[in-house]
Amino acid sequence: MDYHIKMLAAVLLMTGIYTTAGFNILTEPVRNFTNIDKLFGQTIIKSKNGVFVPSPTYGKVFECTPEDKECSTVDATYHTEFSVKGAKVTPRPITSISSSLSEEEEQLLVCNQIRTKKKASSENFNGLCAHVLNKKEKDKINPADLVSEQLKRAAANDTSEAPSRKRRQAEQYVGDADEGEDDEDSGTEIAFVLDGSGSIEPEDFTRAKDFMSNVMKKVWASCFTCNFAIVQFGSDIRTELSLQENDNVAKALDKVNSITQIGKRTKTASALYHVLTEVFVPENGSKKDASKMIIVLSDGEMSRTPISLTEVLNMKEMEGVLRFAIGVGDGILGSSKAIKEMTQIAGDAERFFYVSNYAALETILSKIEKSIFNLEGINKGVGFEFELAEAGFSSHLTHKGSMLFGAVGAYDWSGGIILKRKEEKTVTFLNATKEEPRFSYLGYSVASVHIGTKTLYISGAPRYNLTGAVFIFDGTDQDLIEGDQVGSYFGSVLCALDIDNNQDTDYLLVGAPHYHEKWEEGKVLVYKLHQGKLEKEGYVLRGMGKYIHARFGSAIADIGDIDGNKYSDVAVGAPLEAADDLTDISGSIYIFNGFKDGLKQQFSQRIAASDLGFRFKLVHFGQAVSAMSDARKHNKEIFISVGSEGRVTVLKTVPVIILEPQISVGHTEISLAQQGKGKSNEFKTTLNICFNEQRNKIISGETLKIQVQIDMDSDKEDKRLIDNQEKRFIFILTNEQTCLKTRYPEYVGCYDCFTPIKIKVHFTLVPVLDGIPVRVLDAFTPTESIKEIPFEKECKELNCTSNISLANSTLSTDLIIIGSSETLTMTFDLLNSGDNSYMTTLTLSYPEILQSKKNGGGQCEVKKDELQIVCKLLHPVFRRGAQNKVTIAWQPIDKKSDLSDGTITAVLTGGNNGTEELDSKSYDFRVKNALELQLTGTVSPNIITMEEGGKTLPKELQFSFKLLGENKYKAKINVTVTIPKQKRQLTITSFEPKNCTKFDGEDNYHIECTLTDLRDINIKATALIHIEDAREKITATAELSFDENVFYGKDIRKTEKVEVAIKKLRVVKSIAPIIGGSIGGFILLIIIIIVLFKCGFFRRRRLMERTASTQ
């Protein structure tokens, strides 16, 4: 048993991988068509039997079908020979191809681009198109000629004052492509004079050859009549490439590459002489009337030349020859003589170029190329109208049989489109104006949309104002949709989509493949056709974001209804999505499915080049994509084709089936008598499952293996309905067998007698490891079905109506102080006065400044990420008359809050009739942050004592104010100290902190400080004290403030006043009493001495001294 379960699990895992990796397009190619032309696969369009694929390089068109291993050639072009660089060549490059299919006919329109000449000075580059009906009838169409002929007719019928000018203007347009080059243009002859002296290192000589090759390739890409010659000079002078050796481009470039260095001398003048006498001569291929140019490439001064530079430059043969000089390295830049020689060779300082080394030659490549083009006349300031229009660059067949041709080069590449209506000889040229920005490339892509009898002609101009644009024409008026990013190439790809297949266009998809966020991811914008106007949808189509080099939107195609839901689907190519960094394999396509309401915004399948196997090594897979014929042609099989470099890959779709399980059980409800736990409540019932088929039903002889998983009483651990049979098994669906065998699950009673019992059936198809699947499941239809068995409810009425209110709920306080408040408590006293309430839940949503602390009275779950507390109230049944008291406690977080108000929302829900709200209530409270602060002040000295009549001297004072406490949440505290000036001269000499500000008022000084750190404020002042009154004071008052909407300060003393007391001492003047007292003292002393003498005091002392001496 365990083995089988493991095997089934493995199959389920594989099935999951299969269904998520893809939808209904198989990644095993049905066909791979290849061609030696690397541009084969660049464009693919639908045919009746398969697809048309052009080989642009060789001018051929092929039809490829799923049944055939090789593509067949279609006669859809004109192969008149024409000359390119003197050689007769048949193939012509195909630039556009389009088709239109109906029940009766198949139309094909193919345009080749052909360069022709009417005059030596007038070059034309336009399309020659073939319109093929049912692969039999072929008509030639030259869209530019149609415009030209119409202008000629208009000029002939014009009676204005300048008819001759009109005719001349008409004649400037394109001539008949079949005339070829009837007026041969002598073209332009360019001679490189290459320094091969010994001072040049071998690797630098190779760089010089590469430079010349690059110039030749760049010029030949746009100028068919430009021919090159190369003369090398050193100890010898020789012609390395003559004007007659330009017919074969590859051989000419090989000859340049094989040039060997001569070495030794720098004989520049002799080399110029050689050009005039050996190269620019008729016998060596030079034409008399050809424009001539010499480009000298050297690294130093001339040496040992037998002819002077002046002599050569003054030769008659040099007249009319445009000269350029390129100096390389220090040998030129470090020598004034060399610079003078090179300037003389160029004939003008503006035609003398210099670079630091040979590796830097590529930096002047564009300048040389531009100079050649200016000589050839390609960039003349008069501009072009239809000479280089490239009419047929893009083409389109409308549903009414009209033809659209893009002419990107018209009017200096501002572009336009040529409209040729069915069975009309006249054409209409649609563009913005001649004055529109040059190089807009209008006509780069063309399409049409139609609704009812109205047709709109659409054309992309991917370089319009650099952001790109889409022009909409209705024949008389025009509209414009502009891109939103420079360089996105918005409008380069268009796809009109009739999503419901009712013959009216519903959407226009516009590609912007170069749209960049990190690099060139690309995107597709969607516009809906509404009342004849295109309105932008609110979404865009994108590929996988990890591919930044993708160019998603390079191809967009309506691939028909591949999933069978009657709505068309779309494929979008992203040809640059790389498989990895180790291989060149690249590209993918994305499938977006159509529905009634439009396109799904998310792709249903991505098919990468690497998914098809590394053996094919597909490059740029997805550069083109197309539906491949009508499914009715291939036994209801639908194919799509995808282009890559030189290859077209055919992929097959698998029919999509929708399976809808129909689940029926014997008991449609669990009665009240059967609710509860116990043997008396148990019973067996029946379960029947059948699969109803939608879309592409299984036919006779087909079988479909379905992996089925049945989950009884899903989402419940304690099962109320059990089934001992296999939960996972494989069922084989046929056109006769659509139902499973009847199952007999057992009901075993319930604790939760409210929540319905869910029987969940999950199904998927068993993956086909070998061969092709018969069907695939629809990616957008659920593969799961649920049948519910409800419980009978005990209610007065049919619908149970409970009555529980939040009215008796309270909040403990309406003010929370962060850093001070400890708890915020809510109490709910809930009573059910109505019917039983099932699965009653109380949900509390609270602000982030609170965190759950304690809950009681219910089974409460805290959902921290959602800031919610969800409480189950008396689950599963809150019975009639029952009461439940719930207490919820929060603790404010210890973090500053920027909120001034908070709200707790309570929502009470029940599940009697689905989830329904029974009551709700909001509880508001204020929020403040704690601020502990005290303001104290001192002054030194605080007493000044002065004697009356003393001198007026300056006194130094220092006022100090301290902020004590804690500013935990960084409140901005404003302190203002006011010191009155009074009558005395008081001057503030300094204050701290330094960022405080002093204001000098009329009567007071004000010191204003804004603090977040609790710092002391010290103010030093000097005062001149004048004593007039018996007692005076100097005061300083400090006042503090803060934002009381955000902070809460308890018992804060906001004002502090300090005083300096001034005391005055009175001095009494008493000279006479002092003198009198002194005299009295002397008299008293004299009297005392006399009295002592009379009493013998002094005689007795002498007697005692004599007695002592005798002894």
Distance between terminal CA atoms of the chain?
151
Contact 603, 540 (CB under 8 A): no
Is the pLDDT at 514 greater than 60, yes or no? yes
If DSSP codes are grouped into helix, strand and coil, which group holds residue 512?
strand
> Could you give the angle at the alpha carbon of 1059 between the alpha carbons of 1058 and 1060, nearest 5°?
140
pLDDT digits (tens, 9 = 90+) for 287-300: 888 888 999 998 87
Please compute the mean of the pLDDT values over residues 1055-1064 and round it to a whole number.
Answer: 85
Number of neighbouring beta carbons within 10 Å of residue 982: 14
If DSSP codes are grouped into helix, strand and coil, which group holds residue 357?
coil
Contact 934, 870 (CB under 8 A): no
Please compute the mean of the pLDDT values over residues 480-498 and round it to a whole number.
Answer: 93
DSSP-derived pairing of the beta strands 973-980 and 598-599: unpaired
Tokens of 86: 């003197």
Q: What Å distances lie between residue 985 and 956, 978, 990, CA to CA?
A: 12, 16, 16
Higher-pLDDT residue of 506 and 1032 is 506
pLDDT digits (tens, 9 = 90+) for 107-136: 999 998 887 655 444 567 788 899 998 888
pLDDT digits (tens, 9 = 90+) for 299-342: 878 877 788 888 989 999 888 888 888 988 877 877 888 888 88
DSSP-derived secondary structure letter, 276? I
Residue 22's pLDDT is: 64
Residue 656's pLDDT is: 92
Structural domains of the chain, with CATH: 188-376 (3.40.50.410), 656-789 (2.60.40.1460), 809-928 (2.60.40.1510), 941-1065 (2.60.40.1530)
pLDDT digits (tens, 9 = 90+) for 498-509: 999 888 999 999
Higher-pLDDT residue of 900 and 39 is 39
* Rounded Cα–Cα distance for residues 258 and 324 (Å): 24
* Rounded Cα–Cα distance for residues 1006 and 8 (Å): 87
> What number of residues does the chain have?
1111
Which 3-state string (H, E, C) describes 1050-1066?
CCCCCEEEEEEEEEEEC
Contact 9, 732 (CB under 8 A): no
Residue 160's pLDDT is: 42
Task: Return the sign of the alpha-carbon dihedral for residues 25, 29, 32, 38.
Answer: positive
CA-wise closest residue to 663 among 579, 721, 612: 721
Count of H-run helices and E-run strands, the chain: 13, 70
Q: If pLDDT is split at 50, 70 and 90, which confidence band does 275 have?
A: very high
pLDDT digits (tens, 9 = 90+) for 922-972: 999 999 888 888 889 999 988 887 776 556 678 888 999 998 888 888 899
Contact 908, 840 (CB under 8 A): yes
Cis peptide before 513 (omega within 30 of 0): no
Task: Return the sign of the alpha-carbon dihedral for residues 1018, 1021, 1027, 1032.
Answer: negative
DSSP-derived secondary structure letter, 279? I
pLDDT digits (tens, 9 = 90+) for 549-570: 899 999 999 999 999 899 999 9
Higher-pLDDT residue of 933 and 1072 is 933
Number of neighbouring beta carbons within 10 Å of residue 176: 13
Q: If pLDDT is split at 50, 70 and 90, which confidence band does 1067 have?
A: low
Which 3-state string (H, E, C) describes 241-270?
ECHHHCCCHHHHHHHHHCCCCCCCCCCHHH
Is the pLDDT at 219 greater than 90, yes or no? no
The number of CA neighbours under 13 Å toward the Cβ of 403 is: 32
DSSP-derived secondary structure letter, 720? S
* Mean pLDDT for the chain overall: 83
Contact 763, 707 (CB under 8 A): yes
Phi then psi for residue 700, to 5 deg, are -60, 135
To the nearest 10°, report the CA torsion of 1082, 1084, 1085, 1090: 130
Residue 42's pLDDT is: 93
Global pTM value: 0.61
* Rounded Cα–Cα distance for residues 665 and 764 (Å): 22
* E-assigned strand segments in 751-882: 757-765, 776-777, 784-789, 809-811, 815-818, 824-831, 837-838, 841-845, 850-856, 859-863, 868-872, 877-878
Which 3-state string (H, E, C) describes 443-501?
CCEEEEEEECCEEEEEEEECCHHHCEEEEEECCCCEEEEECCCCCCCECCEEEEECCCC
Q: Which residues pair with 856 in a beta bridge?
A: 887
Residue 974's pLDDT is: 93
Is the pLDDT at 490 greater than 90, yes or no? yes
Higher-pLDDT residue of 217 and 1066 is 217
Higher-pLDDT residue of 163 and 668 is 668
Q: If pLDDT is split at 50, 70 and 90, which confidence band does 581 have?
A: low
